[in-house]
Chain A
Amino acid sequence: MSDFLELMVGAAASGCIYALVALSYLLITRPTGVINFAVGEWAMVAAFGGFLALSRFELPYPVGMAIVLVAMASVGWITERIAVRPLLEKGAPPLAPILALLGMLVVFREIVSVSMGPDPQPVPPMFGYGRLELGLVAGSYQSFFIIGVTAVVFGAAWYFFERTLAGRSFEAVAIDRRAAALMGINLRRVTTLAFAGSAAVAALAGLMVSPNVSAHYLMGLPLAIQGFTALVIGGVGRVEGALLGGLILAVAEQVTVRYAPIPPGLAQGVPLVLLIVFLLLRPTGLLRARESRA
């Protein structure tokens, strides 16, 4: 039983990472309709930011974390200025920014591989390496840290979208871009904020996952794929969908690795099969978008 519970704590932690990546997609997709595969690379860049700030310059964790998040929000903003805004303003077809961002994905990855080298680099966890036991439930410090931070982020995202005017304006843009613009919502500002926020959320995922996997220039694409799998499972309509999808994906993954009688390599295929099944059977995800309220 305690073995199973420990597995679940680990699964919940990786599920939270997937959920953060999924939220990162969602923040951009909702208002702009753009699917940004570069979110995985943002997480990767943030992991290297964590390596520089925490391992090389040995800043205290909260300071280093804050610096990385602010830096990544600016990276998101710059990405939007370079690869998205000119296309939106030209009225380019919807596919164009997606392709430009695919190009940016390669640019990010190669800049890191050129400047930081191809070797994995260590990033320290928040509270050091250790194991926390709360009765039957046990797991590493980092797992609990990831779960806690993700809960706060999703709480904040929920509050932002449901309770603040700026968040409602995101929602309005998602429902009808033109109408929102006519109501006086600044589309440009919403898009900029979406990219900056998305990059910061992706950065959080990269920073928190890197103590387990090390910062490596190829870590982005797997994260990007797991993130959108989570998004597809949960549904793009609602913030909670990203969290639910991430958790389902991680539990399915861990349980097959642990209990299913198939070789561990083949278990890597589980999320892919899950993604395909969901795309085919339920492309809207588990949680449907809420009907627009009067």
Chain B
Amino acid sequence: MKSLAGFLLAGLVLSAVAFMLGSYQTDVYRKLLLWITLALGYNFLFGIAGQVAFSHFTFYGIGAYAMVILLFQVGLPLPLAIVAGIVVCVVLALVVAIPATRLEGFYLALATLAFAQLFIVVLNEGGSVTGGPGGLANYRLPDILGVRVTGPWYTVVIVFLLLGTLAVLWRLDRSWFGRACRAVRDDPQAAQAMGINIRTTRIVAYAVTSALAGVAGMVYAFVDNTVNPPIFGLENAFLLLFMVIVGGSGRPAGAIVGAILLYLLPFFLSPLIGHHHALVFGVVMVAVVLFQPKGLIGIWDGWMTRRRAA
């Protein structure tokens, strides 16, 4: 009950913010919300289920492209396109996950990295279906029950997406499944001895988080009203990993902190160092792994513990 009230309050506050912003700020705000959504999902996959996958951002792209192609090339109505888009994401996630989760440790990272690169190759060579290197543009969200959802109201849709993702992951994390994921991450053999099916756990964790990323991508498709290959490149897959690690992997709060920090940092750094903020990201990433393996949220935890002890 308390958490439901918390969700409602967060939804109200985040939506209220949407109505106070200018058009540039709205764009920044929407993308911030989307990055947080992605970081939350990736936190579950990487931080809680312990899978080093570079495909999370790719599913974001698959969702976005699937939405645009199904709506405007195939001509499906919006509700059907949403369902079909989710089906596409889940099926592709299973196609990747069922063989890839057999791989031990870092080989999963290699396979998903190859998958991510392959996605870009297919986008570039997709001809009129994917629009090739230029991508697809000049479309807009169809009317929903005769209403055009634009401006702050579309930002509210993104707020719903964020909170919905958070709620799903929250439930999963606190269920037997979340504990199974942590067990498989920490000690697969012990987990197996406890009766956990390692492969099923891995596959489900991968498929659920990838589908969530795909849904976020579907929503993203109408943020810029264009989808093209460079958006979904490896750079952003790395950035997502950095967000989760810098914030504190395994903790939803850490993912949120990391996403906000690394998304907003360039805005503060660009007056100082221009476009070279990636250098700062790299240094921060190395420093966090070396000195603060629990991430920034770990500093907060330590501080709270010390306060309670005092």
Enumerate chain A interface residues (CB-CB to B < 8 A). 35, 82-83, 86-87, 92, 94-96, 98-100, 102-107, 109-111, 113-114, 221, 225, 228-229, 232, 263, 265-266, 268-269, 272-273, 275-276, 279-280, 283
Closest chain-A Cβ to B209's Cβ sits at a distance in Å of 18
Specify which chain A residues have a CB less than 8 angstroms from the CB of B99 in the assembled complex: 280
Check: B124 CB closer than 8 A to any chain A CB.
yes
Tell me the residues in window 207-242 of chain B with beta carbons closer than 8 Å to chain A beta carbons. Answer: 234, 238, 241-242
The one of B100, B102, B105, B241 in contact with A102, judged by C-beta atoms closer than 8 angstroms, is B241
Complex contact B279–A110 (CB within 8 A): yes
Give the CA-CA distance A229 to B118 in the complex, in Å: 13
Give the CA-CA distance A96 to B107 in the complex, in Å: 16
Give the dominant DSSP class at B's interface.
Answer: helix
The one of B121, B124, B245 in contact with A99, judged by C-beta atoms closer than 8 angstroms, is B245
Complex contact B290–A272 (CB within 8 A): no
Specify which chain B residues have a CB less than 8 angstroms from the CB of A280 in the assembled complex: 99-100, 102-103, 111
Give the CA-CA distance A100 to B292 in the complex, in Å: 12
Check: B201 CB closer than 8 A to any chain A CB.
no
29 sampled A-B residue pairs with Cβ under 8 A: A35-B106, A35-B109, A83-B286, A87-B289, A87-B290, A98-B106, A99-B285, A103-B285, A105-B282, A106-B279, A106-B282, A109-B278, A109-B282, A113-B276, A221-B234, A225-B113, A225-B114, A228-B110, A232-B110, A265-B121, A265-B125, A266-B122, A272-B114, A275-B114, A276-B114, A279-B103, A280-B102, A280-B103, A280-B111
Complex contact A269–B122 (CB within 8 A): yes
Q: Which of A35, A87, A279 has the most CB of B within 10 A?
A: A279
Check: B115 CB closer than 8 A to any chain A CB.
yes
Name the residue on B nearest A268 (C-beta). B121
Closest chain-B Cβ to A34's Cβ sits at a distance in Å of 9
Specify which chain B residues have a CB less than 8 angstroms from the CB of A82 in the assembled complex: 286
Check: B281 CB closer than 8 A to any chain A CB.
yes
The one of B125, B238, B241, B290 in contact with A83, judged by C-beta atoms closer than 8 angstroms, is B290
Tell me the residues in window 66-106 of chain B with beta carbons closer than 8 Å to chain A beta carbons. Answer: 99-100, 102-106
The one of B121, B276, B282 in contact with A104, judged by C-beta atoms closer than 8 angstroms, is B282
Specify which chain B residues have a CB less than 8 angstroms from the CB of A110 in the assembled complex: 276, 278-279, 282
Complex contact B111–A100 (CB within 8 A): no
B263-284, CB under 8 A of A: which get 1 and which 0? 0000000000000101101111
Complex contact A273–B118 (CB within 8 A): yes
Specify which chain B residues have a CB less than 8 angstroms from the CB of A273 in the assembled complex: 118
Complex contact A279–B278 (CB within 8 A): no
Closest chain-A Cβ to B104's Cβ sits at a distance in Å of 8
Complex contact B52–A95 (CB within 8 A): yes
Name the residue on A nearest B273 (C-beta). A114
B42-53, CB under 8 A of A: which get 1 and which 0? 000000000010
Closest chain-B Cβ to A149's Cβ sits at a distance in Å of 27
Interface size class of B (residues with CB under 8 A): 35 or more
Name the residue on A nearest B281 (C-beta). A106
Complex contact A266–B121 (CB within 8 A): yes
B154-169, CB under 8 A of A: which get 1 and which 0? 0000000000000000
Complex contact B278–A269 (CB within 8 A): no
Give the CA-CA distance A114 to B274 in the complex, in Å: 10
Q: A99-B241, A103-B282 are in contact. List 7 more A-B contacts (CB 8 A).
A: A35-B106, A100-B285, A103-B283, A103-B289, A263-B125, A272-B115, A279-B110
Specify which chain B residues have a CB less than 8 angstroms from the CB of A100 in the assembled complex: 285-286, 289-290
Complex contact A276–B111 (CB within 8 A): yes
Check: B117 CB closer than 8 A to any chain A CB.
yes
Specify which chain A residues have a CB less than 8 angstroms from the CB of B131 in the assembled complex: none
Complex contact B124–A265 (CB within 8 A): yes
Give the CA-CA distance A87 to B287 in the complex, in Å: 11
Check: B11 CB closer than 8 A to any chain A CB.
no
Contacts A265-B124, A275-B110, A275-B111: A106 and B278 contacting too (C-beta < 8 A)? Answer: yes
Give the CA-CA distance A87 to B285 in the complex, in Å: 14
Specify which chain A residues have a CB less than 8 angstroms from the CB of B278 in the assembled complex: 106, 109-110
Q: Which of A95, A113, A221 has the most CB of B within 10 A?
A: A95
Check: B151 CB closer than 8 A to any chain A CB.
no
Complex contact B245–A272 (CB within 8 A): no
Give the CA-CA distance A280 to B100 in the complex, in Å: 7
Closest chain-B Cβ to A90's Cβ sits at a distance in Å of 9
Give the CA-CA distance A273 to B110 in the complex, in Å: 12
Specify which chain B residues have a CB less than 8 angstroms from the CB of A92 in the assembled complex: 293
Complex contact B282–A114 (CB within 8 A): no
Complex contact B293–A272 (CB within 8 A): no
Name the residue on B nearest A231 (C-beta). B110
Complex contact B103–A269 (CB within 8 A): no
Specify which chain B residues have a CB less than 8 angstroms from the CB of A229 in the assembled complex: 114
Name the residue on A nearest B280 (C-beta). A110
Specify which chain B residues have a CB less than 8 angstroms from the CB of A106 in the assembled complex: 238, 278-279, 281-282, 285
Complex contact B282–A107 (CB within 8 A): yes
Tell me the residues in window 173-196 of chain B with beta carbons closer than 8 Å to chain A beta carbons. Answer: none
Name the residue on B nearest A221 (C-beta). B234
